[in-house]
Chain A
Amino acid sequence: DTEVTQTPKHLVMGMTNKKSLKCEQHMGHRAMYWYKQKAKKPPELMFVYSYEKLSINESVPSRFSPECPNSSLLNLHLHALQPEDSALYLCASSQGRQAYNEQFFGPGTRLTVL
């Protein structure tokens, strides 16, 4: 089973709203990732959690706040976003952060900021 689930599928929010994206995996993976993907561009890494600890933050603005409550769950809290933050937000997981570990992506959340 290589399933990573994400909710919601679509989200429309205003610039003053607070919302959260959720990601879940049941593969026993210990590394989880948030990526942002704009149209016709490759995914860009935002955050990496390894064993529930934040290990990489690619200088993402503070209006994005990740949380890893346990090894199966990953949240991305959104606050005071800008229209340019509209994108596909992808969650991925891998067994660990060794070089040979394959990353599997969830279906993504399509975010529109008005």
Chain B
Amino acid sequence: QKEVEQNSGPLSVPEGAIASLNCTYSDRGSQSFFWYRQYSGKSPELIMSIYSNGDKEDGRFTAQLNKASQYVSLLIRDSQPSDSATYLCAVIGSSARQLTFGSGTQLTVLP
């Protein structure tokens, strides 16, 4: 079992829709959870961090964390073509103070 798993995609949504990206992790003691956006040929850009159960909103982005179920999700409201990118879920586990990345979900927002 991979430490951090993401729905493999690719995921396509129409412009204006809600895009939902999911991530599960295996280390129950994981402490910190991050979402990065990576455009093709560019470096990862941090868009959300979440540390406690519940929702965290920032503009059109909402991160949701459920530690009991060991999943973290990212919702993108009013999706725009400029949101088309690969989204990487990253987790800091209980023992290693380093990021473990999921394999990424490629999102395409269709005009």
Contact = CB atoms under 8 A, between A and B. Distances in A.
Interface of A: 2, 33, 40-43, 45, 48, 56, 88, 90, 97-100, 102-108
Given A100-B51, A104-B46, A108-B43, A56 B32 contact: no
A41 B31 CA distance: 24
Interface of B: 31-32, 34, 36, 42-46, 49, 51, 88, 92, 97-99, 101-104
A90 B43 contact: yes
Contact of A99 (B32, B42, B46): B32
A43 B101 contact: yes
A2 B46 CA distance: 10
Closest 8 CB pairs of A and B: A42-B101, A99-B31, A105-B43, A108-B43, A99-B92, A97-B97, A99-B32, A105-B44
Q: Is the interface of A mostly helix, strand, loop or mixed?
A: loop
A108 B92 CA distance: 22
Contacts of A33: 98
A3 to B, nearest CB: 12
Query: By CB atoms of chain A within 10 A, which of B34, B46, B88, B99 has the most?
Result: B99
Contacts of A41: 103
Contacts of A48: 98
A102 B97 contact: no
B58 to A, nearest CB: 13
Nearest to A104: B46
Given A48-B98, A88-B43, A98-B97, 10 more contacts: A42-B101, A42-B102, A43-B101, A45-B98, A97-B97, A99-B31, A103-B46, A104-B46, A105-B43, A105-B46
